[in-house]
Amino acid sequence: MQLAIDIGNTAVKWATFEGATLTESGEWNAGSGKWNAEDIDKALVCASGQVPPELEKWPRMSTAMELPIRLDYKTPQTLGPDRVAAACGAWALHRGEDCLVIDAGTCITVDFLDHKGVYHGGAIMPGIGMNLRALHTFTAKLPLIEIEPGRKAPVLGRSTEESIVAGTLGATMLALAGYVALYREKCPALKVLLTGGDAARLASGTNGWELVPHLTLIGLNEVMAGER
């Protein structure tokens, strides 16, 4: 059994695999996820956020490891392991195809992996929650709101709350759609994969994008499969 752990800035997610098959998954909290070490053949942690003490014992992914993809990035030493793991997940699911990976977490990353398995980098932008908090924190009167899953952004906000939704969720969707359009000019058969904590929130406004909640964990398992 392989154990994959994704430590983000907001949540810690995990999954176990038998070969390429995901057998169990969940969200880790202190005191939970006490896996029997005797049952685990390999484990790998993707640490973008702070690592809880209970998870320090597991090995961490880095760009110095042997990867199933090749990195064409100017500063691989600064490249987040979550971005690499998600790209490895895209390669596991769509090997030989051009992929655009959108990871909608605390920050939103947009990364391009070509059909030869070469990772070229992409873009980093504030996540939805970060934008909402920024509007509230850096203004005197704008409220802090939450956007419930499934809510669509209006084009025309007719209240302060609707205007905030239009300017955060709407602008995010337009930005991502713009990136997809730019990449599809050169790669018409581009696969677009959407993952991360806000992926389901964004999925309702997309057309033909593939929602893959466990993409980073799948990528960690793919890295473990190639380890010698």
* Active-site amino acid positions: 82
Q: Do the Cβ atoms of 142 and 92 come closer than 8 Å?
A: no
β pairing state of 107-113 and 210-211:
unpaired
pLDDT per residue as tens digits for the range 186-206: 999 999 999 998 888 888 767
Beginning with the edge strand found earlier in the chain, give each strand of the sheet holding 2-7 in spatial order.
21-27, 12-18, 2-7, 42-47
What domains appear along the chain, each with residue ranges and CATH number?
2-127+171-226 (3.30.420.40)
Average pLDDT, the chain: 91
Residue with tokens 């909608």: 104
pLDDT, tens digit (0-9, with 9 covering 90-100), for 46-89: 998 888 888 888 899 999 899 999 999 999 999 999 999 999 99
Q: What is the CA radius of gyration of the chain?
A: 18
pLDDT tens-digit profile of 136-175? 999 999 999 998 877 888 889 999 999 999 999 999 999 9
Q: How confident is the model at residue 32 (pLDDT cuts 50, 70, 90)?
A: low
**Res. 30: pLDDT tops 90:** no
Confidence class for position 28, pLDDT limits 50, 70, 90: confident
Q: How far apart are CA 194 and CA 212, in angstroms?
A: 6
Max Cα separation, the chain? 59
Residue 8 exposure: Cα atoms within 13 Å on the Cβ side: 24
d(CA 128, CA 150): 14
Kindly state the percentage of the chain with pLDDT values over 90: 72
